[in-house]
Amino acid sequence: MIKIGIIGVGNIGKRHIQSLQDLKIQTEIFCHDIFKASLENLDAFLKENNVQIGKIEKIPDYSDFINKVDVNTIVIVATTAKGRFEIIKDLLKMNPRALVIEKPVCQNLGEYEALLNINTKTELFVNFPRHLFPSYNNLKEELSRLNINEVEINTVKAGIGCNGPHMLDLIIYLLDIETIKIVNSEIYQTYETNRKSFFDFNGRIEMESDKNLKIVLDDKKEGVEQFNIKTNHKNFLIFEPLRKIIRTSNIDLVVKDFEIIYQSKLTASVIESILDNKCKLPTLKESFLSHQIIFKIMKEHGLLDLNIT
């Protein structure tokens, strides 16, 4: 029987568990969190969201959780970035079938490179879920036939440390980018997030890709969240909060729905795709570039000690 382990059952961990009710296969599910309260309030969350799922074994001891992992286990690593490096190393010693890792994967470039150098047969995926959205995959196909000039992503206090890898990975994926050079960067502020003792930062990063494409990531304290892709003859403006995409050209303007899928509707299909050897999430290696840029920015601006989540 396939086993599914979830380590970290805060908000995102609970949403992973919620999705498991959609699995079409029989599994054994177990979870762990260093915070006792997170394990204790899991049942209330499942009841409140009407999650119909079988038994979930709640394991309070970290070592007991690790020792339960075996070659038939897929582990979802939904802890905070702090300490995730050590957790992944401990899990890999148990030779699990696969890991699905939340991001940022770790807190610095050295940890990431060390993970890449581990010799393992375990499949390592990073949970950048936009790879799974039909809306973005259809857009990717459309963009492949066009000459892209510039991409600008504007977010509002999403945090470059936490959300930056998401946005950069999306650009890399959509446009098949292999390398990115940082041209200029500015940090607006650092701040404590809603998680006590965890921090993030706002700022602007100007970059250039191997295709001479100008890329801008700008995270401000206020404004409108939008993703703008400019080509020679057509522009694409995506408003994720509104679930809309606007295509403009010299002759028309078209507004269409743009589907955004929550994690609670994705994880089951990710598990099944891993079992079928068809997982579309990026691997740890494929996700390196998006993390590398963020870690370089943090180093340049003296933020390497910032406890990002």
pLDDT in tens, 26-82: 999 999 999 999 999 999 999 999 999 989 999 999 999 999 999 999 999 999 999
User: Looking at per-residue confidence, does 196 or 86 come out higher?
Assistant: 86
In the chain, the amino acid numbered 104 is P
The CATH number that domain 2-127+264-282 falls under is 3.40.50.720
- What pLDDT does residue 74 have? 98
State in words which class domain 134-260 has.
Answer: alpha beta
In the chain, the amino acid numbered 225 is E
Rounded to the nearest integer, the mean pLDDT of the chain is 96
Per the DSSP assignment, residues forming a β-bridge with 219 are 155, 203
Residue intervals of the chain classified under CATH 3.40.50.720 are: 2-127+264-282
- Taking only the tens place, the pLDDT of each residue in 135-176 is 999 999 999 999 999 999 999 999 999 999 999 999 999 999
Q: How far apart are CA 111 and CA 131, in angstroms?
A: 24
Q: How far apart are CA 109 and CA 42, in angstroms?
A: 33
Helix and strand counts by DSSP (H, E) for the chain: 10, 14
- What pLDDT does residue 196 have? 84
- Residue matched to tokens 């998680």: 195
Is it the case that residue 95 has pLDDT exceeding 90? yes
Is it the case that residue 211 has pLDDT exceeding 90? no
Report whether 71 contacts 97 (CB < 8 A). yes
Residue intervals of the chain classified under CATH 3.30.360.10 are: 134-260
Q: How far apart are CA 204 and CA 125, in angstroms?
A: 28
- What pLDDT does residue 195 have? 83
Is it the case that residue 221 has pLDDT exceeding 90? no
